[in-house]
Amino acid sequence: MRGRTTAALFGGGVSLFLVVALAAVVLSTPVSGDGMHPTLRSGNRVLSFDGTPERLDLITLRTRGNATAVRRVLGLPGDEVRITGGEVRVRPASGEWLAMSPGGDPGVCCAADGRGGIDAVAVVPPGSFFVLGDNPTMSTDSREYGFVPAGDVTGVVWWRTWPLPEFGDVDPPALTAVAGP
């Protein structure tokens, strides 16, 4: 009797694991391209859920052409954003300037609509986000298509689900306090 109970529990546990693993792969979003490298690589899969994005969260979003992309939220509504000298800077609505140096060349930004090419400070409008790929040289993001309306955000990334050896959280980059814009 004890052997059958153990076998049943083991079989049930394996079955549950397989169902969860299959659901994680089927319900997850594939990463395409090198815009999020080295954090995520093309072929990785991420699981996202509804929620309100916070600064540095990874999100899934609908792009022009109705494709799905994964990008990092840098600017929240009311934040000021500027990219200059290879440094990405953001100032929360009531706070000090924070900076990060992404891999690659982010160029200069930001025009009033959040697009790149102009070395200025832009304010993220209500109901929108400023997003950037972790590899800005290869990323299509707010610098190209402007601020992302909250309605285009399809989820907040919780875990990388594929490849299985890398299953789990995806750590955000560090922001450091800096002076001025």
CATH at 93:
2.10.109.10
pLDDT at 23: 59
pLDDT at 104: 79
Asked whether residue 5 is assigned to any structural domain, the reply reads: no
Report in angstroms the alpha-carbon separations of 65 from 62, 81, 86, 129, 145.
8, 26, 30, 19, 12
pLDDT at 178: 87
Asked whether residue 115 is assigned to any structural domain, the reply reads: yes
Asked whether residue 108 is assigned to any structural domain, the reply reads: yes
- Mean pLDDT over each residue of the chain, to the nearest integer: 87
Asked whether residue 21 is assigned to any structural domain, the reply reads: no
Q: Taking the C-alpha atoms of 114, 115, 118 and 122 in order, what is their torsion angle to the nearest 10 degrees?
A: 0
The pair phi, psi for residue 179, each rounded to 5°, is -90, 145
Asked whether residue 122 is assigned to any structural domain, the reply reads: yes
Asked whether residue 8 is assigned to any structural domain, the reply reads: no
Asked whether residue 78 is assigned to any structural domain, the reply reads: yes
CB 44 within 8 A of CB 25: no
CA–CA separation, 132 and 29 (whole Å): 18
CB 100 within 8 A of CB 88: yes
CA–CA separation, 124 and 179 (whole Å): 20
Domain that holds residue 93: 30-177
Percent of the chain with pLDDT strictly greater than 90: 63
Tell me: pLDDT of 26 over 70: no
Q: Pick the more confident residue, 7 or 113.
A: 113
pLDDT digit string, tens, across residues 78-97:
999 999 988 999 999 889 99
Type of residue at 173: P
Asked whether residue 1 is assigned to any structural domain, the reply reads: no
Q: How confident is the model at residue 143 (pLDDT cuts 50, 70, 90)?
A: very high
C-alpha count within 13 angstroms, C-beta hemisphere, residue 115? 5
- Counting the structural domains of the chain, the total is 1
CA–CA separation, 144 and 137 (whole Å): 12
